[in-house]
Amino acid sequence: MNRLKRKLVYGLIGLLAGLLAWGLSTLALKLVAFFPSFLSLSLSAGFLLGAALGAYFGSLEGLTQSVPQKVRSGIRMGLVLGGAGGIAGFLLGQGFLLYLGDYFLQSAQDLRQWGLPLSKVVGWVVLGLFVGMIEGWRSLSLAKIRVGLFGGALGGLLGGLALELLPLLYPQWAYADLVGLCLLGLMIGMAFALVEAQFSVAVLRLLNGPFKGKEYLLLARTNRVGQAPQAEICLKGYPQVEPQAAKLVVKKGKVQVVGEGKTLKVNDRPPGPEPLSPEDILQVGSAKLIFYYR
């Protein structure tokens, strides 16, 4: 899919993640009698909410590349990191609230009006950080972890502010939490997509075949091309593409092709030592891709 569709998919997945998170948090509140303490309730709710967001966002890379193996591994990683982020967000938010209480909060009104909302926003930022890093940890890519940290923190901040401001602005609105959590998911998804596009060095777009028009952002220092599910540019559905046909190596802002497959060509010739230029055509088996710097 192209970059616009990618942003829309990220936003839609975020909305769905927020909807599921709202449902799970509502369920946890209805089961409050089964929890021995407020702490156990809060930690459980944080884990469920974080795991819901994590599972959805963990599936993104596989969904956008149409690779089921990446979807499954992303969901597993998302459940773990998202759940951990939900717990960490609650604990760090409570710690920040204690800090505010010791040095800044002077009354119960201060606590309600800005102490509690600010501490919760800190928690949402922490959760956003964990959720944003899921794909980076799944693929063991420092570049993707960095993108996730920036995108997750930004989305968690903006979405957390929206989530906490809505009940203050509309205290009688029954759906404030639902809309707020959906906005949180939307903001994390959109922020991640924007930061991902900003940090990408270059773009490859498929020119033919079943996924014609799909774009791949080059984020990592080494980007594998082939049919293997773990490849950053996975070309399943294209005949004559080896499991690992090529590597695209980023050095000083330039991209060089390192040939590994027999069918690899750049502009109908075997790849040379020179870096790729804009509008170069990369052929891997039956797949043809056009190269652009961002």
pLDDT in tens, the chain (294 residues): 677 788 888 999 999 999 999 998 888 888 888 888 888 999 999 999 999 999 999 999 999 888 999 999 999 999 999 999 999 999 999 999 988 888 887 888 777 778 888 999 999 999 999 999 999 999 999 999 999 999 999 999 999 999 999 988 888 888 999 999 999 999 999 999 999 989 999 999 999 999 999 999 999 899 999 999 999 999 988 988 999 899 999 998 899 998 777 788 999 998 888 999 999 999 999 999 999 998
| CA 258/CA 246 separation, integer angstroms | 6
Order the strands of the 233-234 sheet from edge to edge: 233-234, 222-226, 246-251, 254-259
Share of the chain above pLDDT 70, in %: 99
- Note whether 188 and 155 are within 8 A (CB): yes
Which pLDDT score is estimated for 282? Answer: 95
Question: C-alpha distances in angstroms, 212 versus 89, 122, 126?
Answer: 41, 42, 38
Q: Does domain 202-293 have CATH number 2.60.200.20?
A: yes
What are the φ and ψ backbone dihedral angles of 225, each rounded to 5 degrees?
-120, 130
Strands (E), the chain: 202-206, 215-218, 222-226, 233-234, 246-251, 254-259, 265-266, 281-284, 287-293
Q: Where in the chain is the domain with CATH 2.60.200.20?
A: 202-293
Torsion of CA 49, 54, 56, 57, to 10 degrees: 140
Short-list 236, 284, 292, 280, CA closest to 262: 284
For tokens 């800044």, the residue is 104
**Residue 174 in 3-state DSSP?**
coil
Which pLDDT score is estimated for 1? Answer: 62
Q: pLDDT digit string (tens) for 206-224?
A: 999 999 999 999 998 999 9
Neighbours of 120 (CB within 10 A): 20
Short-list 231, 221, 206, CA closest to 281: 206
Burial of residue 199 (CB within 10 Å: 0-12, 13-18, 19+) is: middle
What are the φ and ψ backbone dihedral angles of 163, each rounded to 5 degrees?
-65, -40
Burial of residue 258 (CB within 10 Å: 0-12, 13-18, 19+) is: middle
